[in-house]
């Protein structure tokens, strides 16, 4: 699929940025999507689960970021979803990139036209060969939180611009990182003294309040700690010029987090402009979580036979087990690694995209396709009792920490991504889902 298939008349993208062009190996279905053709392409696996990506969501999140945090430059955390189209869109919109490995750095630089200064190597514990490779390609900004990292960097990248990652309160976040990363404040003066002794250039401070932060007030405490570390830097003979406020931004709490951050920055860094202090962040899930939905097919069902005696109807245990064609070894690894709770809904029933809200419901469980019993997508949920093999379930908020960590365990392929530019009110996304579900090749 080439550039000719791009719908350039879309309201949100009057013309798609040139960086998005030229990836023919990826299905880019902007505008009308031919579901039956897609089904044919994937025969005999025509009911294969698929993502629908709405690139306009990523664009809108970027606009929202610029409105709420105009002073803070986002460096998108590539680990969260390294999808080539999302990366190219963000590159075209001017974000920087937070990379954690050589592979991520190469992915960004291979796009072409991205200056290495737009990359922060935000992994405080790097292999020395990775540090050397960063030096070779001109990636200078990198984080550290321990003395051994300083020795490595002194050997492999003397020109590095170092950022000390400090420990902050991450107890209110889905994924806490403090047990693995971050220098406690008491260790900072000695680390800075060591950096100085090794003739290394420390330029600033970073922190991460934990991924999926549900208490925006922790940003305030983290900024206060950063201020203290800026002052420690001065004592050690450095003049810091970079404050990196990390990631953790939750979509539903974003405005709140932005206002806490803005207030704290005003309070603790009132002279930031005259002192040329640049502020950056490393948002991941904020940008992509909402942008992808997943459609999965019910490939099997375990339900009592119509005439068999049922013991479950009155109980609070699921009476029907549905097996779908993506699971925790695939896209739903987010249940294990990202502590997500999944809420399935019906996309289509018996070939129809419109499911009346009045249909009788039943306690059910939803399982992935592998042979492992850990492969449970939803242990208890309510779904229509008339659901059958061949019907489709939908899952929202599937853009963050899903595809990136999916495996092909048991020989199940990764779900493909179908791209759209959203359309007015998400109409393109709905159209893709509806067409495919209506043409679905289940039983």
For ligand PLP, the binding residues (CB under 6 A) are 77, 79-80, 98, 122, 208, 211-212, 246-249, 282-286
Element (H, E) at 194: helix 188-197
Shortest CA distance to 177 belongs to which of 120, 124, 241, 231?
A: 124
CB-CB neighbours of 46 under 10 Å: 17
Contact (Cβ atoms closer than 8 angstroms) between residue 415 and residue 48: yes
Classify residue 4 as exposed, middle or buried by CB count within 10 Å of its CB (0-12, 13-18, 19+).
exposed
Q: Output the smallest distance, CB 208 to ligand PLP, in A.
A: 5
Residue 246 or 344: the one with the smaller Cβ distance to ligand PLP is: 246
Residue 282 or 375: the one with the smaller Cβ distance to ligand PLP is: 282
Q: Output the smallest distance, CB 143 to ligand PLP, in A.
A: 7
CB-CB neighbours of 380 under 10 Å: 12
Lookup: tokens for 154: 């002194």
Residue 142 or 192: the one with the smaller Cβ distance to ligand PLP is: 142
Residue 122 or 258: the one with the smaller Cβ distance to ligand PLP is: 122
Shortest CA distance to 396 belongs to which of 349, 346, 338, 322?
A: 346
CA–CA gap between residue 362 and residue 381 (Å, rounded)? 8
Q: Output the smallest distance, CB 116 to ligand PLP, in A.
A: 18
CA–CA gap between residue 24 and residue 375 (Å, rounded)? 34
Residue 50 or 76: the one with the smaller Cβ distance to ligand PLP is: 76
Q: What is the DSSP letter of 414?
A: P
Indicate if 371 belongs to the active site. yes
Residue 90 or 418: the one with the smaller Cβ distance to ligand PLP is: 90
Q: How do strand 141-144 and strand 278-281 relate by DSSP bridges?
A: unpaired
Q: Output the smallest distance, CB 217 to ligand PLP, in A.
A: 17
Q: Output the smallest distance, CB 140 to ligand PLP, in A.
A: 17
* CA angle, residues 254, 256, 261, in degrees to nearest 5: 95
3-state secondary structure of 279: strand
Q: Output the smallest distance, CB 177 to ligand PLP, in A.
A: 6
Q: What is the DSSP letter of 275?
A: T
Q: How do strand 392-395 and strand 292-302 relate by DSSP bridges?
A: antiparallel
Query: Which candidate in 334, 371, 376, 404 is catalytic?
Result: 371
List active site positions.
Answer: 371
């Amino acid at each position: 699929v080439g550039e000719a298939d791009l719908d350039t008349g879309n309201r949100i993208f009057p013309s798609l940025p040139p960086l998005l062009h030229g990836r023919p190996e990826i299905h880019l279905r902007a505008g009308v999507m031919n579901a039956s053709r897609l089904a044919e392409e994937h025969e005999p696996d025509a009911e294969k689960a698929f993502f629908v990506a709405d690139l306009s969501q990523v664009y809108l999140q970027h606009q929202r970021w610029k409105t709420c945090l105009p002073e803070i430059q986002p460096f998108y955390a590539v680990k969260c979803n390294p999808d080539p189209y999302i990366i190219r869109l963000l590159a075209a919109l001017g974000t920087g990139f937070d990379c954690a490995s050589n592979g991520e750095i190469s992915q960004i630089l291979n796009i072409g036209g991205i200056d290495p200064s737009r990359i922060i190597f935000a992994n405080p514990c790097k292999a020395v060969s990775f540090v050397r490779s960063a030096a070779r390609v001109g990636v200078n900004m990198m984080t550290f939180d321990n003395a051994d990292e300083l020795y490595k960097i002194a050997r492999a990248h003397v020109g590095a611009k170092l950022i000390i990652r400090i420990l902050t309160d991450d107890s209110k976040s889905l994924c806490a990182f403090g047990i693995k990363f971050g220098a406690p404040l008491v260790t900072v003066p000695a680390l800075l003294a060591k950096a100085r002794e090794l003739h290394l250039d420390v330029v600033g401070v970073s922190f991460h309040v934990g991924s999926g932060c549900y208490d925006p007030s922790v940003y305030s405490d983290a900024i206060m700690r950063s201020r203290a570390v800026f002052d420690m830097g001065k004592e050690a003979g450095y003049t810091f010029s970079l404050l990196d406020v990390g990631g953790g931004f939750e979509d539903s709490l974003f405005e709140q987090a932005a206002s806490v951050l803005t207030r704290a920055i005003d309070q603790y860094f009132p002279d930031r402009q005259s002192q040329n202090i640049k502020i950056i962040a490393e948002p991941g899930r904020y940008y992509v979580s909402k942008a992808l939905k997943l459609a999965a097919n019910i490939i099997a069902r375990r339900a009592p036979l119509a005439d068999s005696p049922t013991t479950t109807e009155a109980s609070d245990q699921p009476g029907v087990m549905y097996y779908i064609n993506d699971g925790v070894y695939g896209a739903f690894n987010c249940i294990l690694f990202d502590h997500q709770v999944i809420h399935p809904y019906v996309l289509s029933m018996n070939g129809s995209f419109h499911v009346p809200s009045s249909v009788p419901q039943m306690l059910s469980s939803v399982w992935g396709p592998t042979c492992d019993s850990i492969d449970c997508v939803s242990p208890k949920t309510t779904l229509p009792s008339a659901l059958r093999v061949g019907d489709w379930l939908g899952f929202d908020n599937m853009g963050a920490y899903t595809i990136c960590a999916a495996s092909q365990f048991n020989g199940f392929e990764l779900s493909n991504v179908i791209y759209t530019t959203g359309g007015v009110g998400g109409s393109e996304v709905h159209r893709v889902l509806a067409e495919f579900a209506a043409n679905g090749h289940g039983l």
